[in-house]
Structure 1
Amino acid sequence: MGEFAGSVLLSAAQWDKEQFIRDLYEQWGIVDQGSDKSEEDDDTTVLMQVDDMRLVVSLFDFRIPDNEAELNAENNYMWPEAVEVAGAHQAHIMVAVLGEESSLLEKGKLFTKALAVCCKQEYATGVFTSGVVFEPRFYEGFAEMMKEEDRLPIYNWIWFGLYHNECGMNHHLHHVIQIKLVHLYLLHDYIK
């Protein structure tokens, strides 16, 4: 329980695996702590052991199926071009963090750092996670919060969605992480 997965949308089916590994180290000091390199069998996948967690990053040279990225891009009211950008993606980098031993908080931090590093890839156009497609610079900017006084990237983890219905303006939450200390759920909480 507590695995994390998300994607960085790409305008072309290309990525620089070595740049990803270099950026992960230069930005966050993260290196592979495992010794078995036999699991990395091609240029499309990075497998890393980071403490008790397994980081998996892989290029998929096809679009996210069933227009899922486009549908979730509709949730981003802060980025008017989100649907158009999501619709134009040609490939994606999938990022996942696995592991039973580490806390949800530590897995969430590693997940956010890896996605933010993927935003530096030349063809990165969007970040699909938490039920929304984020603009890469928005996602990267909030990930940077972790470098300052051990702050958490809450805006990368929880998306405050807005919608209209017969009762007026409403909001809902999408979240990528459920920390056992705090679990927030709002249903039909009307905005006055």
Structure 2
Amino acid sequence: MESNEKHQGGAFVSFVLLDQVEFSFKQLAADLQKDWGITLEDTDIDNEQQSLICTIDGILATVSLMPAPVPNDEAIQNAHTNFHWSEAVAVAEAHQAHLLIAMLPHDQSSIDTGILMVKICASALKQPTATGINTLGSVLAPDFYIHYAHTSLQEGDFPIMNLVFFGLYSRDEGKTICSYTYGLRNFGKMEMEVLDSEQEIGSILELLVDISSYVITSDVRLRDGETIGFTEEQKLSISFSPAYAIDGESLKIGF
């Protein structure tokens, strides 16, 4: 059975959490220029509607101030998945407003669209009212997001930590570890999982990060029944079946 990569990439959407209904679009424009050399026109910002609508390199980018929490307690629910950040749930519970940030590509690649999303979100997160970002099925800390955005993009690397979330959990009280990706579908790729591994947590995460970066940047299609490895000796099995930690189906990496 082939994975056949049936999920197509497309629009990118994220929500920047705010602790009050306050955000400066003028400051965002200044930060985008300073951080990434992105120049906005005065007409791109609608102060009355508290929104930004512009086209950057052919990608329609929108940022809208929403004077209420993210609907349906989505941010609070997603915050529970972030094992990196102990304050994620409290921050999600406390937010009073949010920015709805969306990138809508025309013919641009999902990689270019995702990178533009990262740049705009990273600059928006610099403002004092920004307390977190609800994205990739989780809630990430501003300093985490900003650090990986600048570190990766300034070195010419793909910002994998900003565009794919790597979750961890155990099904046997910590005897073994499971991990999953959330975000590969945005690039037309299947999500991946490692189930009940006896390897160290760091090794599991490093493996999924490396494979995720590889399939996105090299546009690789993994297939059921094949193997993958990063050394001549490493041959990890690939299987395709219903997912455990996420919706739909996933590729299981034997590790």
What TM-score does the superposition give when structure 2 sets the normalisation length? Answer: 0.68
2:141 is aligned to: 135
Q: How does 1:34-183 map to 2 (within 5 A)?
A: 37=43, 40=46, 42-166=48-172, 168-175=176-183, 178-179=186-187, 183=189
Q: Secondary structure at the match of 1:71?
A: helix
Q: Determine the C-alpha separation between the residues in 1 that align with 2:104 and 2:29.
A: 18
Q: Which amino acid aligns with 1:125?
A: T
Judge conservation of contact 2:122–2:146 (CA < 8 Å) in 1.
yes
Q: Secondary structure at the match of 2:192?
A: coil
Change beyond 3 A, Cα 1:44–1:177: farther
Q: Determine the C-alpha separation between the residues in 1 that align with 2:15 and 2:152.
A: 20
Judge conservation of contact 1:32–1:49 (CA < 8 Å) in 2.
no
Gaps of 5+ in 2: 1-8, 199-255
Q: Determine the C-alpha separation between the residues in 2 that align with 1:28 and 1:176.
A: 25
Q: Number of residues paired by the alignment?
A: 188
Alpha-carbon offset, residue 32 of structure 1: 3.2
Judge conservation of contact 2:10–2:187 (CA < 8 Å) in 1.
no
2:26 is aligned to: 18
2:221 is aligned to: none
Gaps of 5+ in 1: none
Deviations 1:132-167 (A, max 9, x none): 100000000000024433111111111110112248
Judge conservation of contact 2:44–2:53 (CA < 8 Å) in 1.
no
Q: Determine the C-alpha separation between the residues in 2 that align with 1:90 and 1:29.
A: 31
Deviations 1:4-41 (A, max 9, x none): 110110000100110011101111011237x9x38836
Q: Which amino acid aligns with 1:16?
A: S
Q: How well do the aligned residues superpose, as a CA RMSD in angstroms?
A: 2.1
Q: Which amino acid aligns with 1:46?
A: L
Deviations 1:89-128 (A, max 9, x none): 0000111111221111110000000000111112110011
Q: Which has the higher Rg, Structure 1 or Structure 2?
A: 2
Change beyond 3 A, Cα 1:8–1:104: same
Judge conservation of contact 1:55–1:97 (CA < 8 Å) in 2.
yes
The percentage of counterpart residues that share the same residue type is 31
Judge conservation of contact 1:104–1:177 (CA < 8 Å) in 2.
no
Alpha-carbon offset, residue 179 of structure 1: 3.3
Q: Which amino acid aligns with 1:70?
A: I
Q: Secondary structure at the match of 2:15?
A: strand
**Which is bigger in relative contact order (C-alpha 8 A, separation at least 6)?**
1
Q: Determine the C-alpha separation between the residues in 2 that align with 1:149 and 1:92.
A: 30
What TM-score does the superposition give when structure 1 sets the normalisation length? Answer: 0.89
| Runs of 4+, deviation exceeding 6 Å | none
More deviation, 3-12/170-179: 170-179
